[in-house]
Every structure is written in structure tokens, then in C-alpha cells.
Amino acid sequence: MGRAPCCDKNGLKKGPWTPEEDQKLVDYIQKHGYGNWRTLPKNAGLQRCGKSCRLRWTNYLRPDIKRGRFSFEEEETIIQLHSILGNKWSAIAARLPGRTDNEIKNYWNTHIRKRLLRMGIDPVTHSPRLDLLDLSSILSSSFYNSSHHHQMNHMSRFLGVQPAAVMNPELLKLATSLMSSSNNNNSQQRGNTSSSTNNQNSNTTTFYFQNSQQEVVDHQNQLYNNINQFQQQVLYQPNQLHEISQPGCPTTTTSTLDHVSCAPLSNDELVHQDLSNFTNFSSPSSQISHEWQSSSTTTTTNGMPSNFTEADHYAPSLPGYSSYRSWVWWWY
DNA sequence: AACCCTATCAACCGCTCCCGG
DNA sequence: ACCGGGAGCGGTTGATAGGGT
């Protein structure tokens, strides 16, 4: 068992902070700084544990905290950072000046996560929820009629999004287009070029019944390919194709749908090649690029620049450079 | 007006990490 | 190498506000 919580000690207050307590904490930190959280409450005359004081200060009383609604840009940044960092709220907060990890975590759980789910996007993987596209539900659609309701359901299954998402005109248009191309492909695969029916749903369903298991598997793969294509073309375009860069990152960048590149700093190309050995970032859809800092930066005891985070990479002994910073590009 | 339900977010809890002895 | 304590992190809780019936 772990240690007893520090706030369990007799006489220590819990719960919401009063304005008087806030003032005591602010006054003390302004005078003495916030070195030792364990001794701070006693010295500041607070009946609180150090942990509670630290939390109150870092999440609420710190002067550089930005309050108010998250901007669109901040929200986009959170989503992008979350897609590569996961629930590393402190790492995400480190890239959003004035925002705390707690605030970002709350905002994620109450707003962004729900919004992604509504869009049919898995908030963990940031991909369309393929679990919604199961063969059994497609097979059961053999009894589809061509009513609007069933078409919507079918499209939503096809795209791996929730039915409501298909109400979006843009998604609806794309769903129709992708399903159409998928069914055309099926017809061509079967050599059935004369089949140009309006009932695409029954085309797809009939296909499963009329063909061999291998052909069904191929067709499933085709569907998944279409979904990937859908991902690349719409879900993450254009607003979600971005770089994640550190402040001051030297960027001469070009980006297209399936390719993102970054031009290295002039005369650093050779070093750039060497540096590839230092990277071990393994996100399948990401790529590491690097920035070199020729000037000294504040360093921690092990020599790593103190403003680096765990998401950064560090090469301790690069000839001619005191440090370098890496950043991640990714694409979908 | 009273009640219920949901959303929000500050604060807590338990755990891990890190560092010094 | 091991241990203990402090700091920090991420998950969760619970009080409260606000909207709906």
C-alpha cells in the first residue's frame, strides 16, 4: 500500500479555497517563491497540505494563467498534440502557453472527446471508428429497401461514422461518391459491366452472397481502402494537416496531401543525415525533423536543455552544436 | 416553483518518477 | 543497489450552475 495521503493529517483543510486562503498563498509566494511545497503551507499560515497549495497555485493562482474559452487554434493544437502524445496532459500544456494540464484535460473530456465521438472519430486513435463497420451488419442489410433512412444507415456504416454525421452535406456527398466507386469496382471485378443499377445498397449486399470467401475478403479490403482514402481526403483536410513545431522552429516547409517535408537549416544537411540515428520515435504516421541550436541554452543536470520535454529528442554530443531540438511532422 | 438531469471544472487521490542519502 | 520523501501526473470525484420539464 502507498503512503497515506498528506491531507489526511488532522487539522488540514480540504475542499474549495476561500479568497482569504488564496490571498495568503499569493502573498507568500510573491515574497518567498514556491520552493518547498511541504513546508510552504505552515510558513504561509495555511491549514492546507503542500499538495493542495501546489495545485491551487499551478492551476488557478499563477499570474500567467490564461483564462476563458479555448480558441479554435488552441483546440486544434490540443487535438493534434493528443494524436501523438496521448493523455500526456502536462506535455500538451507545455505547448499551450497559459493553459494548465488540468484545464486541458477537463476541456478534452467535456468538449473535444465528445465532439470527436459525435463525428465518428475514435478519440483515442484519432481514426474513424472502424468498429462501426462490421461485416455482419452489412450482411444483415440484405433486407434493405431503398428508403432514405436505410441509405443513411448504410452510408454511416460504410464510412465508419455515426448516422448523424452523414447528415453533414459534405460527408453525405463523399459517402455517395465513395460508395458509388466501391460498387463500380465490384462490378468491374465481377466482369459485370452492364450492371448500373440505382440500388447501390443491394449491389453491395448481393456481392457478399454471390462471391467466394476470397472475393468477400478482397471486397472488405477495398472498403477499408476507401475509408482510408476518405480519411486522407476529408476528415483531416485541410485544417488538420499541420506541423507540430516548437517555438522558433526553423521552417521552410511544403506540405501536400500525402507528403510533408521540412527543409533543414542551410549548411546543416550533413548533420541532418547523421541525426537520423538518434531518433526512435515510432509513430507510424509521423516523422522526426530536427532543429539545431548553435547557441547555449539553459541545461538541466544531465545537459539536456531545460525547456525540452519528453516528446523532444536530445543528442548530447553533436559536434559544433550544443543541442538540437526535434519536432514531429505527421500526416494522414 | 420545484424537481431532475446534465455539463462543467476545481480539487482530490493514488500512483509513478526522480533525486539525494 | 536500495530506500524514503517530495514533486508531479493522470484519473476520478463531487459541488455547483444551468437548462428542461
> Is residue A102's beta carbon less than 7 angstroms from any atom in nucleic acid strand C?
yes
Phi, psi of A160, deg, nearest 5: 75, 30
> Is residue A38's beta carbon less than 7 angstroms from any atom in nucleic acid strand C?
yes
**In the prediction, which pLDDT does A137 show?**
43
**Among all strands, which nt has the closest C1' to A15 (CA)?**
B11
What is the residue extent of each domain of chain A?
Answer: 19-61, 70-164+219-231
Which is more confident, A15 or A202? A15
C-alpha grid cell, residue A46 = 495555511
Cα-Cα-Cα-Cα torsion A307, A309, A315, A318, nearest 10 degrees, comes to -20
**In the prediction, which pLDDT does A191 show?**
34
Which is more confident, A64 or A264? A64
pLDDT for A114 beyond 60: yes
Among A63, A44, A54, A71, smallest CA distance to A7 is for A54
User: pLDDT band at A281, cuts 50/70/90?
Assistant: very low
Taking the CA of residue A281 and the C1' sugar atom of nucleotide B13, their distance in angstroms comes to 32
* Max avg pLDDT among A79-88, A132-141, A148-157, A190-199: A79-88
**In the prediction, which pLDDT does A11 show?**
67
Q: Do A56 and A258 contact (CB within 8 A), yes or no?
A: no
C-alpha grid cell, residue A263 = 527543409
Taking the CA of residue A327 and the C1' sugar atom of nucleotide C4, their distance in angstroms comes to 37
Which is more confident, A52 or A274? A52
* Max avg pLDDT among A25-29, A140-144, A219-223, A313-317: A25-29
Q: Do A111 and A118 contact (CB within 8 A), yes or no?
A: no
Taking the CA of residue A102 and the C1' sugar atom of nucleotide C10, their distance in angstroms comes to 9
Residues 6+ apart with CB under 8 A from A8: none
Query: pLDDT by residue (tens digit) across A40-75?
Result: 888 888 888 888 998 899 888 888 888 888 888 888
**In the prediction, which pLDDT does A10 show?**
56
Residue A312 DSSP code: S
**In the prediction, which pLDDT does A206 show?**
34
Taking the CA of residue A55 and the C1' sugar atom of nucleotide C9, their distance in angstroms comes to 12
**In the prediction, which pLDDT does A89 show?**
92
Measuring alpha carbon to C1', the residue closest to nucleotide B14 is A2
> Is residue A54's beta carbon less than 7 angstroms from any atom in nucleic acid strand C?
yes
Taking the CA of residue A249 and the C1' sugar atom of nucleotide C2, their distance in angstroms comes to 42
Residue A164 DSSP code: G
pLDDT for A103 beyond 70: yes
**In the prediction, which pLDDT does A104 show?**
92
Average pLDDT over residues A182-189: 38
**In the prediction, which pLDDT does A132 show?**
54
CB atoms within 10 A of CB A35: 9
**In the prediction, which pLDDT does A63 show?**
85
> Chain C positions under 7 Å from a protein CB?
5-12, 15-16
**In the prediction, which pLDDT does A129 show?**
67
Q: Do A87 and A48 contact (CB within 8 A), yes or no?
A: no
> Is residue A90's beta carbon less than 7 angstroms from any atom in nucleic acid strand C?
yes
> Is residue A332's beta carbon less than 7 angstroms from any atom in nucleic acid strand C?
no
d(CA A33, CA A184): 70
> Is residue A153's beta carbon less than 7 angstroms from any atom in nucleic acid strand C?
no
Sign of torsion, CA A112 A117 A119 A120?
A: positive
Average pLDDT over residues A126-139: 54
Taking the CA of residue A263 and the C1' sugar atom of nucleotide C18, their distance in angstroms comes to 51
d(CA A145, CA A200): 11
Q: CA-based Rg of chain A, rounded to a whole angstrom?
A: 27
User: pLDDT band at A140, cuts 50/70/90?
Assistant: very low
For A19-61, CATH gives 1.10.10
3-state class of A68 per DSSP? Answer: coil
> Is residue A13's beta carbon less than 7 angstroms from any atom in nucleic acid strand C?
no
Which residue type does A34 have? Y
Say which range, A34-43, A213-222, A299-308, has the weakest mean pLDDT. Answer: A299-308
Measuring alpha carbon to C1', the residue closest to nucleotide C4 is A3
Taking the CA of residue A51 and the C1' sugar atom of nucleotide C13, their distance in angstroms comes to 17
Provide the percentage of residues in chain A whose pLDDT is more than 70.
35
C-alpha grid cell, residue A198 = 440505382
> Is residue A88's beta carbon less than 7 angstroms from any atom in nucleic acid strand C?
yes
pLDDT for A245 beyond 80: no
d(CA A20, CA A44): 12
Taking the CA of residue A80 and the C1' sugar atom of nucleotide B1, their distance in angstroms comes to 47
- The answer to whether the predicted template modeling score (pTM) of the entire model surpasses 0.75 is no
